[in-house]
Amino acid sequence: MVARRSGPGWKILPLVLACVACGDDNPGTPTSSASSAGSEGTGAAGAGGGAGAGGATDFDTELYGIHETTIEHAQSYANPFRDVTLDATFTAPSGRTIAFWGFYDGDGKGGPTGDVWRIRFMPDEEGAWTLEWSFSDASAEGSAAFTVGDTNIPGPARLDPDNPQVMVDARGNPIHFRGYGIKHRGSYNDPPLSLGKAEPFIAEVIEPHLVAGGYNAAYLQVPTGWPTGHVDSLWGDYAMYDLQAGHYVDTVLRHLHQKRVWALGWITFCIQVTWSDLQNGYQPLMRYFVARYGAFYNYFMWSPCWEMWELENWEAKTDEMMSYLVSIDPWQRLQGAHDRALDEWQDWQSIHPRQQPCRTVFDGNTRDVGVDAEIAPYGRVVFGSEDLWEYCDGSWGKPRDGTEVRRGLWGELMANVLPLYDEHCEGAPPCAGLGNGDGEPFVQLALDWWYANVDYRNPGFTMHNELVSAEELQVASSVPGQQYVVYDEDGGPIAIDLSQAPGATFDVLWFDPVAGTEQAGDAVQGGTTQVLASPIAGDTVLLLNTAR
C-alpha cells in the first residue's frame, strides 16, 4: 500500500487488527494500512499479504472483504458527526469509480472523543485499486493504492435472477437459508450491550447456539436500542452517536462476517418512540450507518423500525427514507421493512420480514404479508422473521412446543418462506426468558432433508394444496409434472391428484420429520389420483420425483 497526504494536524494510523503493506519506514512519515476478514475467519496475514486458505498471499484485501483506512485528524468540530464529511473516491481495476465517505470514530476504541476517522470499504473487483480522500472543509486530503485478491468470500445476497422468491450470493451460488434469532438473546434480557459485552455475547450466544447449530443467518436488534434501557443505541440522541455501542456492533458483525453468517436487521434506525427523531435528521444518520457497516457483505435488510403502521405518516416516510438509503448504498443490498409495512410496489423492498402465528402446517403455509395480509401473495423473498418463536406460554399465537415448531416450519418451507427459529419466551419456568429448545432438533432435521431433496428453487415450485385434502391435515407443493411434496399431520393415507402428469412415473420416498428416517415406496403412475398408504405413524412427508 502506498499513501499520499497533506494538511496539518493529521496522520494515517495502522489498524489495530493488522498492518498490511504499511507505507515507507521513515520515522514520522504518515502511513496507511488495510485489513480484511480472511477466508478462514482471520484478519490480515501480515505485512505484504491478505489471509487466504493457503496462508499469506500477495494482495492487501480480499474480494468482498473489508478494506479499512484509519486516519488521525486533529481538527476540532462541535459535532464531528454532522459538521464535516470525509469524502472518498475509489477507482476499481476496471476504471469504474465509486464515491463513498468515511466516519468519525472518537478515540478509535469506543470513546466519544478523539481524532480517529475511518474509511471502510468492500472492494468488488480483483486487482489494483486506488483511493482518493479529503475532508469537506479542505483541512486534509490523501490517497492510497491497494490490491485485491479472491479468497472466495460469498459477497452480498441478491435475488435469484431466475426466481426472485429465493436468494443467491454475489457469485451466483444458492443461499440455503438457515436462520436463527439472536435478537432476544442479546437484547431484552441482558444489561446494556456495549463494547464490554461483545465478547461474552459471542462466546455465550453466537458460538454455542448459532454457529455450533449449523445456522447461516442471524436476526439482529442492534444497532438501535430498546426503551427499557437493555441495549445501548448507536444513535444516542440522534445528533451525537454512542461510539461504544458502535464498537459493540463492529465486533459482533466482524465475528459473523468471519464465520460466513448472514446478518439481517430488525430495527436498524429507530424504535417507535424515536420515530420523530429519525425523521428530523435521517440522511446524515443513514450516511454514517452505510459508512460504518456497508462494507460488511453479510449484513442486509436494514429495516428502519418495527410495526410502523402505528406511527404517524409511516408509509410515505418509510418509502422516502428507505429509497434514500438504497440510493447511497454502492452495493445495493437487499432491503425490507418490518411486517405491517409497505406494499410490493416499492422498488427498494426486495425482502419482506413478517410475523405470522405459526403452530400448524397451515399457519405458515402462505406468502401473504403486510397489514391484514393485503399483499397476497408476495412475489419476492418472504422472511419468517417472527413466525417460529418458541414461546412457551403461547403469546401471539407462537408455537409452544417442539411439535408446533415442527409443523409451523414445514408449512413455511412448503410456501418457500425463509425460515428462522428463535428460542424466545417470557413465560414461567422452565423457559422464562427463552424457549426451551424442544423445536430445534426438528428444525435441523427438516432443513437438512429439505435442502438435500426438494427442488424449491425451481421457478415452477409453488403451493398446490388443492392436490391433497385439507380435511386430512395435508398441504402440498410441487413443480407440476416433476416433483410433489406433501406434509401430513396425522400420518393417514394420502390421496394426491397427479392428473396433470399423464404418462409420468414417480419414485416414492417417505420421510419421518420426527425421527429423521426415510423409506422408499413403490413407484406410482401419473395421470390420475393416487392413494398412498403412509408407513409412518404420525406426521409424515411424502416426496414424489419423476423416475429417472
> Does residue 236 sit in the same domain as residue 353?
yes
Residue 480 lies in a domain: yes
Looking at 149, 181, 207, which one is the last position of a domain?
149
Tell me, yes or no, whether 519 lies in a domain: yes
**pLDDT number for residue 25:** 30
| CA separation for the pair 461, 480 (Å, rounded) | 8
| Residue with the three cell numbers 427499557 | 228
Judgement on whether residues 302 and 254 belong to the same structural domain of the protein? yes
140 and 203 assigned to the same domain: no
- Its sign, for the CA torsion 274, 275, 279, 284, is positive
Classify residue 518: in a domain, yes or no: yes
d(CA 202, CA 204): 6
Distances (CA, A) of 149 to 60, 234, 333, 544: 8, 33, 22, 44
3-state secondary structure of 414: helix
3-state SS, residue 187: helix
Residue type at 392 in one-letter notation: C
407 DSSP β-pair partners: none
The three-class DSSP label of residue 300 is strand
CB 501 within 8 A of CB 464: no
Amino acid at 320: E
Give pairs for 44-47: CB < 8 Å, separation 24+: 44/17, 44/18, 44/19, 44/20, 45/18, 46/18, 46/20, 47/19, 47/20, 47/21, 47/22
Asked if 426 and 480 sit in the same domain, the reply is: no
Please check whether residue 458 lies inside any domain of the structure: no
Q: Are residues 394 and 502 in the same domain?
A: no
Q: What is the pLDDT of residue 36?
A: 30
- The pLDDT assigned to 213 comes to 92
Domain total for the chain?
3
463/154 Cα distance (integer angstroms): 30
548 residues of the chain, pLDDT tens digit each:
444 444 545 554 433 332 223 333 322 223 333 333 333 333 332 223 444 444 456 899 999 999 999 999 999 999 999 999 999 999 999 999 999 999 999 999 999 999 999 999 999 999 999 999 999 999 999 999 999 999 999 999 999 999 999 999 999 999 999 999 886 655 434 444 455 578 888 888 889 889 999 999 999 877 776 655 545 688 888 899 989 889 988 999 999 999 999 999 888 888 888 888 888 889 999 999 999 999 999 999 998 887 777 777 778 888 899 999 999 999 999 998 886 655 555 788 899 888 888 999 999 999 887 665 666 678 899 999 989 988 877 778 889 899 999 999 999 999 999 999 988 755 445 555 556 688 999 999 999 999 999 999 999 999 999 999 999 999 999 999 999 999 999 888 999 999 999 999 999 999 999 999 999 999 999 999 999 999 999 999 999 999 76
pLDDT of residue 546: 95
Give the per-residue pLDDT at 203.
Answer: 87
For the beta carbon of residue 24, count every other beta carbon within 10 angstroms: 9
Q: Which residues form the domain of 70?
A: 2-149
d(CA 533, CA 516): 19
Pick the last residue of a domain from 149, 178, 212: 149
**Which amino acid, one-letter code, is at 34?**
A
**Cα separations in angstroms, 122 against 63, 68, 243:** 8, 9, 22
* CATH number of the domain within which 514 lies: 2.60.40
- Domain's final residue, options 429, 453, 477: 453
Q: What is the pLDDT of residue 461?
A: 97
Cell of 444: 435441523
R_g of the chain, CA atoms, integer Å: 25
Provide the CATH number for the domain around residue 193.
3.20.20.80
Task: Decide: helix, strand or coil at residue 150.
Answer: coil
Note whether residue 459 is domain-resident: no
Nearest CA to 280 out of 312, 309, 302, 326 is that of 312
d(CA 444, CA 440): 6
Nearest to 244 by CA among 198, 187, 287: 198
Q: Are residues 138 and 169 in the same domain?
A: no
Give the three-class secondary structure for 312.
Answer: coil
